[in-house]
């Protein structure tokens, strides 16, 4: 086991009807900015629940944080916070709204000249406004971690940053808020959570039997419950299981003391930035291809995954069988696994590899994934 540090002070308030408890979770007398996305929370009643729970508090709304939250949109919220002397931000939505909130609360307190430095890592976050979240989509895990991914469409960029200063103070997870999601969005969420686990699990093997089994617990549950959500979108147990899995997939626990990959995410981010692919779609596309290219390096863990999670019998190439079963799961969830499934031209292979090359990234748990290897991976994702 590698040495590690684990810290996660997010208060999780989980279950039916929990939005009603909002008032006790927000500091007294705080002037609240409620941050929302494209409007779905207005249609499904979540916004009304939030408004009612805020009681006689003073609050206002900033709406329009888009999927893959954009720097320019977020900066408008920052301006509003400064203008109105907001004390507390409440993100109501999925991972994009919460990721946006993390950047916004940091940028609102940032004293340097260019807040983009927060995203690129040039600037260290010294302080941030407090914020909480009401989650409406099980997917990114942003509700219980200190990471965020911000896009800047004007620069074709999508980059992650992290800081302990941007942990949510609390996150309310009511599975009923996810009943009305379009099924493709639910499916992308399941795939996102599953790939978060695999990024931390399918690296090269290290002695960490507890972490392995904790990751396998998440994988088995996501693969068991995930497909049910397409058939029974209003089954409380299914929605609750998926929501709690997605949160724990990326709250830091299963990554303690082990090697982590994250190359699939970094390549996926570039595909999203360049071609507008949804995040979950980009992962379904990249992961199987990446695993095939890195099969020998990851063989021990792929075989363990095959045996313990997928229930495969020992025969032939177990690692390839595990990759094929993962790919089959993505398809079962209705996601494409080739560039052509999304109408993306094969030139994407070169475009994305070149971008990563230019950024000087070396990806993967061993930093072996370089430009040429990204080309090889995306070539596999463009094969028929």
Strand partners, 135: 93, 173
Strand partners, 363: 369
Q: Whole-number minimum distance, CB 239 to a second copy, in Å?
A: 10
Q: Whole-number minimum distance, CB 209 to a second copy, in Å?
A: 5
With CB under 8 A as the contact rule, the residue among 54, 109, 217, 325 that binds a second copy is: 217
Stretch that binds a second copy, among 15-23, 72-80, 184-192, 325-333 (CB under 8 A): 15-23
In the window 242-261, what residues touch a second copy (CB under 8 A)? 244-245, 248, 253, 256-257
Q: Whole-number minimum distance, CB 146 to a second copy, in Å?
A: 13
**CB of 219 closer than 8 Å to CB of 325:** no
Interaction of residue 17 with a second copy, rule CB under 8 A: yes
Interaction of residue 383 with a second copy, rule CB under 8 A: no
**CB of 68 closer than 8 Å to CB of 95:** no
In the window 27-66, what residues touch a second copy (CB under 8 A)? none
Q: Whole-number minimum distance, CB 355 to a second copy, in Å?
A: 36
**CB of 295 closer than 8 Å to CB of 302:** yes
With CB under 8 A as the contact rule, the residue among 70, 99, 143, 225 that binds a second copy is: 225
Q: Whole-number minimum distance, CB 258 to a second copy, in Å?
A: 11
Interaction of residue 209 with a second copy, rule CB under 8 A: yes
Alpha carbon distance 147, 58 (integer Å):
29
- Joined together, the tokens standing for residue 320 give 């390839």
143: Cα within 13 Å, side-chain hemisphere: 32
For a second copy (CB under 8 A), the number of binding residues is 40
Interaction of residue 83 with a second copy, rule CB under 8 A: no
Give residues with Cβ within 8 angstroms of 5, minimum separation 6. none
Q: What backbone torsions phi and psi does residue 157 show, to the nearest 5 degrees?
A: -115, 150
Nearest by Cα to 268 from 250, 287, 243? 287
Nearest by Cα to 280 from 355, 330, 348, 222? 330
Binding mask 255-294 for a second copy (x = CB under 8 A): -xx-------------------------------------
Interaction of residue 16 with a second copy, rule CB under 8 A: yes
Cβ-count burial of 136 within 10 angstroms (0-12 exposed, 13-18 middle, 19+ buried)?
Answer: buried
Alpha carbon distance 343, 320 (integer Å):
26
Stretch that binds a second copy, among 3-11, 133-141, 154-162, 282-290 (CB under 8 A): 3-11
8-state DSSP, 258: S
**Smaller CB separation from a second copy, 96 or 186:** 186
With CB under 8 A as the contact rule, the residue among 33, 240, 369, 381 that binds a second copy is: 240
**CB of 322 closer than 8 Å to CB of 303:** yes
Binding site for a second copy (CB under 8 A): 1-18, 207-210, 213-214, 216-218, 220-221, 224-225, 237, 240-241, 244-245, 248, 253, 256-257
């Amino acid at each position: 086991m590698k040495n590690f540090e684990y810290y996660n002070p997010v208060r999780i308030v989980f279950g039916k009807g929990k939005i009603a408890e909002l008032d006790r979770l927000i500091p007294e007398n705080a002037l609240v900015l409620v941050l929302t996305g494209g409007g779905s929370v207005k249609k499904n009643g979540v916004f009304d629940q939030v408004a009612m729970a805020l009681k006689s508090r003073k609050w206002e709304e900033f709406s329009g944080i888009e999927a893959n939250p954009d720097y320019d949109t977020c900066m408008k919220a920052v301006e509003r916070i400064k203008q109105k002397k907001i004390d507390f931000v409440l993100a109501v939505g999925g991972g994009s709204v919460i990721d946006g909130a993390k950047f916004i609360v940091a940028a609102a307190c940032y004293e340097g000249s260019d807040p983009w430095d927060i995203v690129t890592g040039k600037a260290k976050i010294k302080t941030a406004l407090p914020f909480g979240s009401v989650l409406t989509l099980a997917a990114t895990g942003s509700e219980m971690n200190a990471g965020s991914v911000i896009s800047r469409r004007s620069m074709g960029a999508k980059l992650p940053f992290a800081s302990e200063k941007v942990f949510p103070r609390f996150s309310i997870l009511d599975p009923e808020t996810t009943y009305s999601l379009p099924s493709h969005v639910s499916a992308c969420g399941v795939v996102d959570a599953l790939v978060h686990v695999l990024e931390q699990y399918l690296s090269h093997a290290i002695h960490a039997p507890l972490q392995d089994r904790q990751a396998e617990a998440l994988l088995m549950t996501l693969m068991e419950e995930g497909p049910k959500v397409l058939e029974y979108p209003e089954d409380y147990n299914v929605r609750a299981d998926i929501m709690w899995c997605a949160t724990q997939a990326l709250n830091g626990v299963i990554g303690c003391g082990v090697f982590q990959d994250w190359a699939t995410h970094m390549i996926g981010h570039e595909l999203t930035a360049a071609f507008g692919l949804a995040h979950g779609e980009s992962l379904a596309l990249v992961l199987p291809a990446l695993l095939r290219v890195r099969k020998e390096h990851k063989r021990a863990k792929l075989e363990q995954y095959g045996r313990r999670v997928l229930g495969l019998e020992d025969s032939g190439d177990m690692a390839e069988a595990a990759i094929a079963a993962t790919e089959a799961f993505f398809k079962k969830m209705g996601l494409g696994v080739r560039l052509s499934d999304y109408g993306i031209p094969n030139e994407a292979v070169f475009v994305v590899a070149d971008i990563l090359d230019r950024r000087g990234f070396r990806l993967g748990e061993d930093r072996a994934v370089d430009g040429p290897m990204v080309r090889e991976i995306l070539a596999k994702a463009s094969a028929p």
